[in-house]
Amino acid sequence: QVQLVESGGGLVQAGGSLRLSCAASGSIFRINAMGWYRQAPGKQREVVASINIDSIKNYSDSVKGRFTISRDNAKNTVYLQMNSLKPEDTAVYYCVLRGSEYQKMVNDYWGQGTQVTVSS
Cα–Cα distances in angstroms (integers) from residue 7 to residues 14, 30, 65, 93, 94, in the given order: 20, 23, 22, 10, 10
Q: Is the pLDDT of residue 26 over 90?
A: yes
| CB 114, CB 93: distance < 8 Å | yes
Query: How far apart are the C-alpha atoms of 90 and 38, rounded to whole Å?
Result: 9
pLDDT of residue 75: 87
3-state secondary structure of 15: coil
Mean pLDDT, the chain, integer = 96
For the segment 50-80, what is each residue's pLDDT rounded down to a tens digit?
999 899 999 999 999 999 999 998 888 999 9
pLDDT of residue 81: 98
In this prediction, residues 99-118 reach a mean pLDDT of 96
pLDDT level of residue 1 (50, 70, 90 thresholds): confident
At 14 the pLDDT is 98
Q: What is the mean pLDDT of residues 4-28?
A: 96
Percentage of the chain beyond pLDDT 70 is: 100
Closest CA to 99 of 21, 8, 1, 6: 1
The residues, any chain, with a CB within 8 Å of residue 83's CB and separated by 6 or more, are 17, 66, 67, 68
